[in-house]
């Protein structure tokens, strides 16, 4: 829940939630689900090598924790992310991977994936859980009495996906559809589950009202699982099962290589579909997910506030949106053809223009040859729930040099997830991967060196006070 956003309290109490479990029972055998999730847990253990690596990573992490952090101007406020909301709501025990609703059929597929019975193995994506390809239309409705004042936020998230992909949402009152339901938590089925049953639930309680959270749940509705469940995740992260309660471990299940497709999308820590590093942590002062040593700069940068360029590309591939464009155009700086207007490109953050050749208009260029400090202070109040205030700063070193920067987030909100405020630092030459997103003022952030002579910083806030201090210099 966003600290400063108190929405729809009265309306949702009046409407009252649909009983969560009785609704699920239509689609899944709950007893079997809970038994299966428990048996998945037994399979999740680390090798001694990984345990040894985790010990070192834990030690290094502890050194980054600031002893008595003092936020700017006193008052602090904790936001919750999807997994925390669902844990508090008591809904988590019926959910897979934290916020995924399964059908009995999908549960069988997952059971079979983990059993040695190859004859029954089948990819989840083959099982008819598809909304179609090339301009799929997803009909939706709201359950009776669903809070009116939450609907604009939900529709803004739908518009986000419509703007960047070929997916379309259509209000419907009959026929098979996604029904947005009152709930204590945030959860969705994966893909289109069964069109004989009238509706499939998309549970969005009042604490789920951020664009990023709704976009995340909609990704599940499209047919996506989480990034940290990808079969290649052990190359990027270590899961500290010792810091996860038994009963929560199944949320770190690993999808089998032959059953899911990565759609040629690289592993991305900052994806909107990646867990935050402290999700399901028993001791919240330490991570449950460690970035492996080669990626340690990303330790604080898991779970993007919004779908990233790669998340968008993944959805476009999933629905074969590119088939909308009869002829292709070339895009610079990693851009892709815009499936909603084939005569221009869709650019990664940091680039603009029809061919992605222009730097973003709002950026300021700062030359740095000696160490400089830059404070960003934002006291603006936001007017709409889904309205981020964004600032772009381009830090440029002389040609042939690199930018070295240490960010410091000075408060006042903190969260599992960088949803309410933070900065994203783009430091790679390749513009496509999301930048490093940081937001926690209670830990020392890493020093980052750009691959080129430029570093782009995007600072964002949902309002409130957010202050960032960046110390940077040009290095060889």
Ligand X SMILES: *[C@@H]1O[C@H](CO)[C@@H](O)[C@H](O)[C@H]1NC(C)=O
Give the residues lining the site for ligand X (CB under 6 A). Answer: 72-73, 117, 119-120, 341, 343-344, 354, 377, 465, 467
Rounded distance between C-alpha atoms, residue 424 and residue 448, angstroms: 12
User: Is the CB of 271 or the CB of 412 nearer to ligand X?
Assistant: 412
CB 352 within 8 A of CB 358: yes
For the bound state, the minimum distance from the C-beta of residue 107 to ligand X, rounded and expressed in Å, comes to 14
For the bound state, the minimum distance from the C-beta of residue 159 to ligand X, rounded and expressed in Å, comes to 15
Rounded distance between C-alpha atoms, residue 243 and residue 102, angstroms: 26
For the bound state, the minimum distance from the C-beta of residue 373 to ligand X, rounded and expressed in Å, comes to 13
Residue bearing tokens 């025990």: 93
User: Is the CB of 119 or the CB of 476 nearer to ligand X?
Assistant: 119
For the bound state, the minimum distance from the C-beta of residue 31 to ligand X, rounded and expressed in Å, comes to 19
Does residue 424 carry a catalytic annotation? no
Q: What is the CA radius of gyration of the chain?
A: 22
For the bound state, the minimum distance from the C-beta of residue 217 to ligand X, rounded and expressed in Å, comes to 29
State the catalytic residue, choosing from 41, 217, 255, 268.
217
| Paired residues of 376 in beta bridges | 468
User: Is the CB of 193 or the CB of 468 nearer to ligand X?
Assistant: 468
User: Is the CB of 33 or the CB of 467 nearer to ligand X?
Assistant: 467
CB 451 within 8 A of CB 429: yes
User: Is the CB of 285 or the CB of 343 nearer to ligand X?
Assistant: 343
Name, in order, each residue with C-beta under 8 angstroms of 93's C-beta and a sequence gap of 6 or more.
34, 247
Rounded distance between C-alpha atoms, residue 113 and residue 122, angstroms: 8
What dihedral do alpha carbons 309, 310, 315, 321 form, nearest 10°?
70
Helix residue ranges, H only, 246-378: 309-318
- CA distances 473 to 254, 297, 366, 406, 476, Å, are 41, 18, 11, 9, 10
CB atoms within 10 A of CB 4: 15
Is 2 one of the annotated binding-site residues? no
Q: Which letter, b or e, does each residue of 270-296 get, where b requires 16 or more Cβ atoms within 10 Å of its Cβ?
A: bbbbbbbbbbbbeeeebbbbbbbeeee
Please state the length of the chain.
476
Rounded distance between C-alpha atoms, residue 464 and residue 29, angstroms: 44
For the bound state, the minimum distance from the C-beta of residue 354 to ligand X, rounded and expressed in Å, comes to 5
CB 409 within 8 A of CB 445: yes
Closest CA to 180 of 212, 211, 145, 129: 145
Give me 216's structure tokens: 């995340």
Handedness of CA 374, 377, 383, 387 (dihedral sign): positive
For the bound state, the minimum distance from the C-beta of residue 441 to ligand X, rounded and expressed in Å, comes to 12
408 φ/ψ sector (left φ>0, alpha ψ -120 to 50, else beta)? beta
Name, in order, each residue with C-beta under 8 angstroms of 126's C-beta and a sequence gap of 6 or more.
none
Is 220 one of the annotated binding-site residues? yes
* DSSP state letters, 180-247: EE--SSEEEESS---TTSSEEEEEE-GGG-SHHHHHHHHHHHHT---GGGSTTGGGTEEE-GGGB-TT
- CA distances 202 to 87, 153, 191, 197, 224, Å, are 17, 14, 11, 14, 14
Is 216 one of the annotated binding-site residues? yes
User: Is the CB of 43 or the CB of 120 nearer to ligand X?
Assistant: 120
User: Is the CB of 11 or the CB of 72 nearer to ligand X?
Assistant: 72
For the bound state, the minimum distance from the C-beta of residue 164 to ligand X, rounded and expressed in Å, comes to 14
Binding site, by residue number, is: 216, 220, 226
Binding site for Zn(2+), by residue number, is: 216, 220, 226
Looking at the annotation, which residues are catalytic? Answer: 217
């Amino acid at each position: 829940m966003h600290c400063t956003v108190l929405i729809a309290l009265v309306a949702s109490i009046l409407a009252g939630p649909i009983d969560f479990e009785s609704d699920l029972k239509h689609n899944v055998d709950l007893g079997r689900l809970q038994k299966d999730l428990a048996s998945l847990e037994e399979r999740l253990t680390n090798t001694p090598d990984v345990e040894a690596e985790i010990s070192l990573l834990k030690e290094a992490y502890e050194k980054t924790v600031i002893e008595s952090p003092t936020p700017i101007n006193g008052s602090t406020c904790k936001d919750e992310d999807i997994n925390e909301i669902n844990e508090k709501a008591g809904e988590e025990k019926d959910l897979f991977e934290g916020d995924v609703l399964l059908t009995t059929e999908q549960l069988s597929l997952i059971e079979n994936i983990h059993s040695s019975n190859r004859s029954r193995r089948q990819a989840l994506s083959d099982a008819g859980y598809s909304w179609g390809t090339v301009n799929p239309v997803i009909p939706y409705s709201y359950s009776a009495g669903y809070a009116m004042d939450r609907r604009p936020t939900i529709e803004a998230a739908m518009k986000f996906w419509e703007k960047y992909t070929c997916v379309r949402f259509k209000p419907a009152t009959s026929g098979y559809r996604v029904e947005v339901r009152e709930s204590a938590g945030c959860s969705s089925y994966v893909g289109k589950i069964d069109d004989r049953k009238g509706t499939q639930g998309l549970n969005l309680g009042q604490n789920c009202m951020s664009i990023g959270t709704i976009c995340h749940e909609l990704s599940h509705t499209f047919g996506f699982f989480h990034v940290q469940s990808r079969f290649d995740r052990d190359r990027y992260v270590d899961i500290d099962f010792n810091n996860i309660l038994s009963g929560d471990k199944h949320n770190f299940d690993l999808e089998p290589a032959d059953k899911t497709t990565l759609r040629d999308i690289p592993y991305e820590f900052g994806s909107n579909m990646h867990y935050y590093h402290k999700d399901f942590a028993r001791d919240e002062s330490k991570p449950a997910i460690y970035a492996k040593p080669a990626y340690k700069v990303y330790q604080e940068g898991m779970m993007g506030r919004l779908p990233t360029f790669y998340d968008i590309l993944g959805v476009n591939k999933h629905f074969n949106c590119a088939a909308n464009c009869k002829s292709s155009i070339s895009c610079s700086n990693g851009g892709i053809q815009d499936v909603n207007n084939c005569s221009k490109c869709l650019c990664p953050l940091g680039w603009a223009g029809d061919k992605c050749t222009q730097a973003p208009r709002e950026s300021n260029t700062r030359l740095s040859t000696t160490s400089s400090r830059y404070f960003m202070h934002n006291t603006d109040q936001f007017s709409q729930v889904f309205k981020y205030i964004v600032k772009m700063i381009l830090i440029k070193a002389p040609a042939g040099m690199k930018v070295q920067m240490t960010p410091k987030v000075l408060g006042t909100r903190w969260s599992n997830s960088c949803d309410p405020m933070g900065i994203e630092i783009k430091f790679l030459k390749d513009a496509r991967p999301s930048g490093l997103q940081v937001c926690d003022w209670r830990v020392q952030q890493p020093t980052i060196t750009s691959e080129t002579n430029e570093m782009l910083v995007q600072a964002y806030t949902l309002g409130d006070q957010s202050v960032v201090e960046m110390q940077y210099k040009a290095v060889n």
